[in-house]
A and B are shown apart, each in its own frame.
Chain A
């Protein structure tokens, strides 16, 4: 589908991409990854000629792209960027219909196509077709960004850190959704990211780059088992290598019962009753984990305090989502904790591990059931 032969791209004296040779087969999901400045984005943008190589040739579907009109070429390749770039002056349907419009489809056909695509990602066409991008959430906007690339059904799609600007939870949702889409659509996808978790999750093949050169080109499985050198090993992260069994993120429950600190005592009590829990986790409006409040605390203190924020236990222990599940299990056992909130590297609350779901998760590992995994 795509073939790089001895491709080099220089900017003045700096070499962004150096003598790159890469073949990407049809229906393959290839992730280009590496630290910033490694040449992954340059590589991607050379495929639709947003950047031209200094030397070497690139073939797409058997044709040397230097011989093609860049405008025509681009209409045959889907393109998704990190900043989404939905045109704010166009409705959702019009945005999805940009490439069909450029290709001269009639309006009816492209609206039908937009409706079909929206349905595919579970967005009601009636509701969303005629809205404007600013009326959607960030996650919804990037869904449309992906649909826009799919509109004219191109066999090849380029994605430049498409989920990089989203919050962690939305990002995971979109990754899952996109993975599902890919199993139905069988596109060839070149995907740039700097997030190794994302790469491992989505890719058929991962190409790790450094300083304009490919360091390793392998399946996720091979990569984890046999990292080519220390750079790759470091990039994959120690935890992942030493501890391939289970991470907290894989056993935790998402969507724990949570509240903002301004919530009143009575309201907090009602919330716990409704959700049948004896503790509620407190986060600020940015999602940062602040602590917990138990039903006993509320009962004991509701006379002298007004809001949950005033009685929050800030010393509530928490665990990072990338930590080993084993650690969470040990802490729950040894410190006699009823549960452990799970936070990400930014301190945002992303889930909870309880005694109960820990047991379930272990059971599923032992007996091969898939409850409780992410």
Chain B
């Protein structure tokens, strides 16, 4: 790295960004596509699955331990393991990120529903709700804050982990960082790191807001 003053460096970085603006924007778009594709798929699978296993203790143990084992596998190793099956590129990255997104969402949906005070369920049943009404009028509204917290956690992590998909040629902001490592160029590294951090922060606070507006008012006072 060439030693220079902060002002000069900022100027230099700015020029760099101007020159590479297209690649940064493309990488950001790709990064978002990968992350949100994985998260959306994760939500569509994990929320219904969490609802399903909430009443079935054995099944719950099986699914929760499978997903938590999946979670421990190092990302690079996981990406590598799906390579021979799915080849390089976007698909294997999406699959791996999707699998990683499952655990927090699944676990929070499950615990969110499990932790609902039995009194509410008894009251609902006793008043003549059928199981669908109990789910939509009682269980889901009460578990919603916990489920969304799981989605937020998942999103923030997935945006961070998606940088690694560059290693299997899926692109995204990790590409810029990788180039920076290979060419020993701080500009490239920062051009990948800063947007990733901003995306993660933005997504986190956006979901926080969503959570607040979706939490029924009667639950907010409880925190």
Contact = CB atoms under 8 A, between A and B. Distances in A.
Contacts of A48: 126
B122 interface: yes
B119 A84 contact: yes
Secondary structure of the B side of the interface?
helix
B218 A83 contact: no
A133 to B, nearest CB: 6
Nearest to A89: B216
A50 B127 CA distance: 10
B56 interface: no
Interface stretch (B42-50, B63-71, B134-142): B134-142
A73 interface: yes
Contacts, number: 80
A74 B128 contact: yes
A312 to B, nearest CB: 36
Contacts of A72: 128
B140 to A, nearest CB: 9
Contacts of A134: 218-219, 221-222
Interface string A120-147: 0000000000001111000000000000
A339 to B, nearest CB: 41
B182 interface: no
B213 interface: no
Interface residues of A, number: 28
Contact of B127 (A88, A89, A90, A148): A148
A102 B119 contact: no
A132 B128 contact: no
A327 to B, nearest CB: 41
B72 interface: no
A148 B127 CA distance: 9
A85 B128 contact: no
Given A102-B128, A133-B218, A83 B142 contact: no
B117 A74 contact: no
B219 A89 contact: yes
Given A85-B120, A90-B216, A71 B222 contact: no
A154 to B, nearest CB: 10
Contacts of B127: 74-75, 79, 98-99, 102, 148
Nearest to B215: A89
B222 to A, nearest CB: 6
Interface string B112-146: 00000101101111111110010001100110000
A305 interface: no
Most chain A CB within a 10 A radius of its CB, from B120, B128, B138, B216: B128
A88 B216 contact: yes
Interface residues of B, number: 23
Interface in B209-223: 216-219, 221-222
Given A71-B129, A72-B128, A89-B142, A81 B216 contact: no
A11 B38 CA distance: 47
Contact of A88 (B126, B137, B218): B218
A280 B1 CA distance: 81
Contacts of B137: 87, 98
A99 B137 CA distance: 12
Given A88-B222, A91-B218, A81 B138 contact: no
A83 B221 contact: no
Contacts of B217: 132
Contact of B122 (A71, A81, A148): A81
Contacts of B126: 48, 50, 74, 79, 81, 158
A73 B217 CA distance: 32
B123 A73 contact: no
B207 to A, nearest CB: 19
A81 B222 contact: no
B119 A83 contact: yes
Contacts of A73: 128
Interface in A254-276: none
Q: Which of B117, B122, B127 has the most CB of A within 10 A?
A: B127
A81 B218 contact: no
A102 B129 contact: yes
Contacts of A135: 218, 221
B74 to A, nearest CB: 41
Given A72-B128, A87-B218, A98-B137, 18 more contacts: A48-B126, A50-B122, A50-B125, A71-B128, A74-B125, A85-B119, A87-B123, A87-B137, A87-B138, A88-B142, A89-B142, A90-B218, A98-B129, A99-B128, A132-B217, A132-B221, A135-B221, A148-B127
19 contacts: A50-B125, A72-B128, A74-B125, A74-B126, A75-B127, A79-B126, A79-B127, A81-B119, A81-B122, A81-B123, A81-B126, A88-B216, A89-B219, A98-B129, A98-B137, A102-B133, A132-B216, A132-B218, A148-B127
A-B pairs with lowest CB-CB distance, top 6:
A132-B218, A85-B123, A75-B128, A74-B128, A83-B119, A89-B216
